[in-house]
Amino acid sequence: MNRIHIERSLPKYRVGKWKWNEKSEELNFRVYTDLEDRPTRFIYTNGYKFIRTINQDEESVLREQFVRSDNTFDADTVIIDDVRNLVLFLMPKEFLNMQFLEFMHHPLVHRLLHGLIIYFEYFLRFVELILVQRDELSDTYQQIKSHNSTKIKRIWSKYLSQYRILVARDYTELITGDGDLNQFYHLRSKLNISATKSDGILYDQFLAVATQIVWISLHRRAYFVIEMEINRLFRSEHFYAKRPEYPRFTPAERSLLYGRYNKIVNYRNQTSPLMQEMQNISTADVPIVLIGRRKYPGTDPRILELELEYIVPGSQLRLIDVQHGILGHPKAVYDTLLRLNWAALRQSTHSWIADKQPYLRIPNIENIEEHKSSEELKYRYNIFFKHEPTNRETLAKWMQREKLLEYYNKHETVKSVHDEAKTRLAFEEERSPVDKIVSSYMDIISKLRQNKR
């Protein structure tokens, strides 16, 4: 990854902005006394304040302490772990507790985030198509809708519902608290009493971090659409704040984006859209529930496509010609905050024009009925995901994040041994003359030889 700041130490110049003073008719320089004064320093997600920019010291701490090791086989590509580590570094300090860190490093949470990125990669494409067609129909020269275009959009809506089933499957396993998830379960094991307050805090923090992970993974685009949809999926439309930045959809557009099973009832009986998908799975979509758990033995091309897209790790997505945001892209063209570095991209062999842009594949309308008449066989092989467990030392290091930043801020700089040696060599006054070094060396050698004799 490329550094955002060239120098590791903080700049000596004052950071601020110029403002015109009408009384004195002159320009006054307002100094930023703290980084919090900067307008783009933070971004608010579900009421929590996440860091948006970092200074030199914070970047050095992130790269040296919390970035994934180069010893892994896929260290040169961007994967979900890289995005997760970045978000954990940018999240508020009240999130830093051992329970939440263990929860975010759990394999099931990793699969849930993986399913969310796949879902939103397709969801944002569909939203963009709907908004473009809305503008085309509202123009003076309105385009005529054909029967095939309406049928294709219904097929895309069905595909989007299938991606939602993958997310709902992992979310259902998460909230049931089976296996080693008992420590995060919302019922206390001994008293069997619901821990409503602590469970609500953990839930809100997870949704905020998940929103940031999905947003960064998808090139930091359509933030308000992602925030709105994640809150709708997990909370339903009764229990999330409706902001003016959120897009508004017509009933016809909502039926395409949210599926035919989305129903709004009284808030006492309301279930989340993810649970509505699990409660209304059609017979043809039942194999989707076992994707990633068992090898699909049937002949349905759509299920095979979903399985391949889900089980292939992010570092190898280029082999199957699939795009999931920045996952699988080389780190050499990104900076520390996982933003595209255009200068590095121009110097590399990659090209933005030649790169495959996200688009919706037009389905074959004639063969769409194969999804219902595909051959069903018995499952024989199980699939196991290889997940690198996180040791306690790494989690303990995350707990010391604020202390590390405070320590390095006091010492004004973060430098490695190589950088310190390079800095010393840059100053002539700190180096002794070569003749003096040789003479002192010869004096020490002669004394050692005399002592030996």
14 inside domain: no
The whole-angstrom separation of Cα 63 and Cα 364 is 47
pLDDT-derived band at 37 (thresholds 50, 70, 90) equals very low
The tokens for 300 are 């349905």
Average pLDDT (432-446) is 81
Asked if 144 and 236 sit in the same domain, the reply is yes
Look at the block and give the residue holding tokens 């054909």. Answer: 146
Asked if 437 and 295 sit in the same domain, the reply is no
pLDDT-derived band at 36 (thresholds 50, 70, 90) equals very low
Asked if 404 and 433 sit in the same domain, the reply is no
135, containing H or E segment = helix 107-138
Long-range pairs for 161-164: beta carbons < 8 A, 24 or more residues apart: 161/259, 161/261, 161/277, 161/285, 162/285, 162/288, 162/302, 162/306, 163/115, 163/118, 163/119, 163/122, 163/123, 163/306, 164/119, 164/233, 164/259, 164/273, 164/274, 164/277
Which amino acid, 245? E
pLDDT-derived band at 58 (thresholds 50, 70, 90) equals confident
Distance of CA 106 to the CA centre of its chain: 16
pLDDT at 14: 58
pLDDT-derived band at 413 (thresholds 50, 70, 90) equals low
Q: Is the dihedral of CA 396, 402, 408, 411 positive or negative?
A: negative
pLDDT-derived band at 192 (thresholds 50, 70, 90) equals low
| pLDDT tens string 369-398 | 555 556 667 888 888 877 777 888 888 889
Asked if 344 and 210 sit in the same domain, the reply is yes
Which amino acid, 297? P
- Render 178-208 in DSSP notation, one character per residue: -GGGGGG-SB-TTT--B-HHHHHHHHHHHHH
**Cβ(293)–Cβ(383) below 8 Å:** yes
**Cβ(99)–Cβ(181) below 8 Å:** no
Asked if 400 and 436 sit in the same domain, the reply is no
390 inside domain: yes
Which amino acid, 282? S
pLDDT at 205: 92
Q: How many domains does the chain have?
A: 2
The lowest-confidence range among 41-45, 191-195, 395-399 is 191-195
Average pLDDT (47-71) is 87
The lowest-confidence range among 35-39, 124-128, 137-141, 305-309 is 35-39
Phi first, then psi: give them for residue 287, nearest 5 degrees: -60, -20
pLDDT at 35: 46
Percent of the chain with pLDDT over 70: 80
318 inside domain: yes
Asked if 153 and 297 sit in the same domain, the reply is yes
Asked if 341 and 268 sit in the same domain, the reply is yes
| Higher pLDDT pick, 364 / 303 | 303
Asked if 326 and 443 sit in the same domain, the reply is no
Q: How many residues does the chain have?
A: 453
| Higher pLDDT pick, 180 / 345 | 345
The lowest-confidence range among 28-42, 124-138, 167-181, 396-410 is 28-42
pLDDT-derived band at 117 (thresholds 50, 70, 90) equals very high
pLDDT at 311: 92
Average pLDDT (133-150) is 74
Phi first, then psi: give them for residue 49, nearest 5 degrees: -100, 110
226 inside domain: yes
Asked if 204 and 238 sit in the same domain, the reply is yes
The lowest-confidence range among 47-56, 142-151, 256-265 is 142-151
227 inside domain: yes
Containing domain of residue 446, as a range?
426-452
The tokens for 193 are 């009493």
pLDDT-derived band at 81 (thresholds 50, 70, 90) equals very high
Query: Rounded to two decimals, what is the model's pTM?
Result: 0.82
Asked if 325 and 447 sit in the same domain, the reply is no
- Render 207-265 in DSSP notation, one character per residue: HHHHHHHHHHHTTT--HHHHHHHHHHHHH-TTSS---TTS----HHHHHHHH-TT----
